Amino acid sequence: MEYQLTADVSPPSDTDLDPLQRHGVAAVLDEQLELLAGIEGPDGVEVEPLDHRVAVHPTGAVITWLLDAPALSFAEEAARHVLTELLATSELLSDWTLGRCEVIASDDDLAAALGQDDPELDDEDEDEELSPEEVAALRDELLVSAGTLRAFGPEAFGHDPADPDSPVSAEAARLVAGALVQAMEILTDELFADVQELEDAEETASEVDALSVLNQLPLRYAEHYGALFAKQFLVVSAILGYRLAQPGWTPPLCTAEALALHVLKAEAGVQLDLAGLLDELPLKDIFAAFDAHAFADLDHERLFDLDEETGEDEIDLLGTPGLDIDEWFLPRGAEVLHPYLAAESAASHAE
């Protein structure tokens, strides 16, 4: 059975970690946890680490760990033993201590949290599971990540540095910028998984349910989203990630990149939700400002509005450059974006 566990680790009580130290602690913990292929629990019972997340705040770190164990007690005892040993044997963290280490959800709870058992789940109840320290750590992570997004300044998110009463603060702009960076990391991982799912199934997205990114694209074209399409969309997303990390910005270079940025915004919203920021930030105004800065137009959004059965507005689409699915990967200009996205390769995904 799968269990989600939360553990608090803390430095000596008089320590206040600066951003660089927090980044280093996160790297050390993440590296050590990645090395764990399995954990021997009580009585030799095997506990398998499935996934983890490290959030570091000025006075410590919060580890969220997904474990596969026969019972809750095995998961907690094995995690406490491993984390205590990890701190003791780490030269950089030997004076740190382990505090809370407890399961906060089973796989049944996690399914319910995702709405699989109760689609009417109250989001506020889920948010209450996060402690103030966890929320602070998530927000600190967003602020640190914001430095990677060099394509846009705070004005792209609606902040006016010349206006002391600007409705979007500089910190709010940085939080959303950081959410976009973290969303890109998640989007990349999930696209690799989508490619693998489609290759294993030898089907298209219309026949495969276990997809994370492609099922966020216009559903009327799902029968065209095969493994090749997924690989091409991964390439486009990689190009997008590179461009977001460079100073200066050119609007999306093809329709597929506009769609990737569209999906990225949605994932950024998820990251902001996890940090409890949805009700604190004027996200409608922020993303409206972002759309005005990031996109040359919003034609790609029309792809989501088409009636899947009647194909309403299809004639208009055919007259709009780049919106026909065979043109999604074609560059809006004379240059080829990537050899893998050449016209003959891009067109073949619909065969």
Q: What is residue 21's predicted lDDT score, i.e. its pLDDT? A: 85
Claim: this prediction has a pTM higher than 0.85: no
* Domain assignment present for 134: no
- Provide the residue type at 69 as one letter: A
Residues 222 and 164 occupy one common structural domain: yes
Q: What is residue 42's predicted lDDT score, i.e. its pLDDT? A: 54
Residues 325 and 231 occupy one common structural domain: yes
pLDDT tens-digit readout, 125-174:
444 456 777 778 888 989 999 999 999 999 999 999 999 889 999 999 99
Q: For the chain, list residues with pLDDT below 70.
A: 37, 40-45, 104-130, 306-319, 333-334, 343-351
* Domain assignment present for 136: no
Round to whole Å and give the CA distance between 63 and 80. Answer: 12
Residues 162 and 278 occupy one common structural domain: yes
Q: What is residue 249's predicted lDDT score, i.e. its pLDDT? A: 94
Residues 311 and 224 occupy one common structural domain: yes
Range of the domain at 327: 142-350
Residues 123 and 146 occupy one common structural domain: no
Residues 107 and 189 occupy one common structural domain: no
Q: What is residue 69's predicted lDDT score, i.e. its pLDDT? A: 80
Cβ density class 31-41: b for 16+ within 10 Å, e for less: ebbeeeeebeb
Counting the structural domains of the chain, the total is 2
Residues 72 and 97 occupy one common structural domain: yes
Mapped onto helix, strand or coil, the DSSP state of residue 176 is helix
DSSP state, residue 103: E
Residues 214 and 341 occupy one common structural domain: yes
In 3D space, the residue among 41, 49, 124, 117 whose CA is nearest the CA of residue 80 turns out to be 41
Residues 169 and 44 occupy one common structural domain: no
pLDDT tens-digit readout, 44-56:
667 888 888 888 8
**β strands within the chain, DSSP E:** 2-10, 39-40, 46-57, 60-68, 97-106
Q: What is residue 61's predicted lDDT score, i.e. its pLDDT? A: 86
52: domain CATH number is 3.30.70
Domain boundary among 70, 104, 129: 129
